[in-house]
């Protein structure tokens, strides 16, 4: 269905689907930590930004055009950056974990903002069009590239990383993460190395967020400090809750509905932030299991009748 979108929809909507792919990938990782391990991070925009700046630096400063290399290097850079953050953060849970990750996110934001010579300050760094499997599609203009080859490339990446994540959450590793979420003390006495598992889950989530960030940056054509700002971390949480964090597909649903909801609201009213807030409140109060949970309830109700 998503593969048919470029042929059916207007280019404007197709450019919206791309960020939805990007956030879909990022949230798959984010939810491994949140929904599966029970750790709510308020700083994961940090890793999205690392992915975006990675794509920017590699493409416009180091001349790396291969998108495969960009994704891999940006992802690994995020993993390396995540090591100290995770080492410190996974010692804590709940609000303390949230605040620590928030602090690291803000630290990186001010680094991007202040170190003008390296990061371009508030204007950021331009991101150049990458090549896909060595093909740079010179014959296509920017829009044609985005809604053509790049679109399918990102869709394939989403499917691939989705399958990998599906395997991870259904593996022994994933089962241990669930045990840690449900009762970390009991998990310890069953021989589960709680901190090590949290640490690894954190690194995986950072990788996914960076891959999402790289796609996002290419879509925008620019990496700027707003990507690392705490409200962006908040949006990651918003999307996950909107879709439903208890379900594997919740974050994907959340990413797509958030992007389209935001775009429709922005087109309809200048008070779109207010309406987004109201939506979040309604979701949390009325449908704590998110849109997926709502759909499941409606489905089971329809079947009973």
Partner 1 sequence: MRQVRSALIETVGIGKAYGDFVALQDVSLSIAEGELVSIVGPNGAGKTTFVNVITGLLKPTAGVVRFKGNDIAGIGPVMLAKRGMARAFQLVHIFPAMTVAETIAVAVLSQTGKSLRLFGSVKSDEALRSRVREVAAIFGLEGKLEAESRLLAQGEKKLLDIASAFALAPEVILLDEPTSGVSSADKHSIMKTLIDAGERAGVKAIILVEHDMDLVAEYSSRIVALQGGKVLADRPPRNSSAMLRSSLPWWASSSASGRGRTDRCSPSSASPSISRTAES
- Residue 66's DSSP bridge partners are 131
Cβ of residue 199: shortest distance to partner 1, in angstroms? 11
User: Is 183 near partner 1 (CB under 8 A)?
Assistant: yes
How far apart are the C-alpha atoms of 243 and 106, rounded to whole Å? 26
Q: Which of 72, 76, 88, 192 binds partner 1 (CB under 8 A)?
A: 192
Cβ of residue 194: shortest distance to partner 1, in angstroms? 8
Residue-wise burial string across 17-36, b where 16 or more C-beta atoms lie within 10 A, e elsewhere:
bbbbbbbbbbbbbbbbbbbb
> Could you say which residues in the range 20-79 bind partner 1, by CB under 8 A?
none
- Whole-angstrom distance between the N-terminal and C-terminal Cα of the chain? 29
Joined together, the tokens standing for residue 44 give 């994961």
Cβ of residue 292: shortest distance to partner 1, in angstroms? 16
Number of residues that make up the chain? 305
Cβ neighbours, 10 Å, residue 252: 23
User: Is 173 near partner 1 (CB under 8 A)?
Assistant: yes
Q: Which of 99, 107, 178, 280 binds partner 1 (CB under 8 A)?
A: 178
> Could you say which residues in the range 111-170 bind partner 1, by CB under 8 A?
164, 167-168, 170
Q: What is the residue-wise DSSP string for 41-71?
A: -S-THHHHHHHHHHHHIIIIIS---BHHHHH
Cβ distance to partner 1 smaller for residue 80 or 196: 196
Residues in contact with partner 1, counted by CB under 8 A, come to a total of 24
User: Is 110 near partner 1 (CB under 8 A)?
Assistant: no
Binding site for partner 1 (CB under 8 A): 164, 167-168, 170-176, 178-179, 182-183, 185-193, 200
């Amino acid at each position: 269905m998503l593969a048919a979108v470029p042929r059916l929809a207007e280019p404007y909507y197709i450019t919206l689907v791309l960020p939805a792919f990007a956030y879909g990938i990022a949230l798959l990782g984010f939810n491994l930590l949140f929904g599966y391990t029970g750790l709510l991070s308020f700083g994961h925009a940090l890793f999205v930004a690392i992915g975006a700046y990675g794509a920017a630096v590699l493409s416009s400063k180091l001349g790396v055009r291969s998108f495969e290399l960009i994704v891999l290097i940006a992802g690994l850079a995020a993993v390396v950056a995540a090591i100290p953050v995770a080492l410190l953060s996974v010692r804590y849970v709940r609000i303390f974990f949230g605040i620590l990750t928030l602090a690291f996110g803000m630290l990186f934001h001010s680094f991007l903002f202040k170190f003008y010579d390296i990061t371009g300050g508030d204007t950021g760094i331009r991101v150049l069009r990458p090549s896909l499997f060595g093909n740079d599609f010179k014959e296509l203009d920017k829009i044609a590239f985005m809604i053509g080859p790049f679109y399918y490339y990102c869709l394939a990446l989403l499917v691939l990383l989705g399958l990998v994540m599906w395997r991870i959450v259904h593996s022994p590793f994933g089962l241990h993460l669930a045990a840690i979420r449900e009762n970390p003390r009991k998990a310890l006495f069953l021989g589960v190395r709680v901190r090590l598992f949290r640490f690894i889950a954190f690194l995986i989530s950072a990788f996914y967020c960076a891959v999402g960030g790289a796609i996002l940056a290419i879509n925008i054509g620019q990496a700027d400090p707003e990507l690392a700002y705490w409200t962006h971390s908040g949006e990651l949480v918003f999307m996950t809750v909107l879709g439903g964090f208890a379900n594997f597909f919740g974050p994907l649903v959340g990413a797509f509905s958030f992007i389209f909801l935001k775009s429709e609201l922005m087109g309809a009213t200048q008070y779109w932030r207010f309406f987004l807030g109201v939506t979040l409140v309604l979701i949390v109060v009325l449908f704590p299991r998110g849109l997926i949970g709502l759909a499941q309830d409606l489905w089971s109700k329809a079947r009973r009748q």
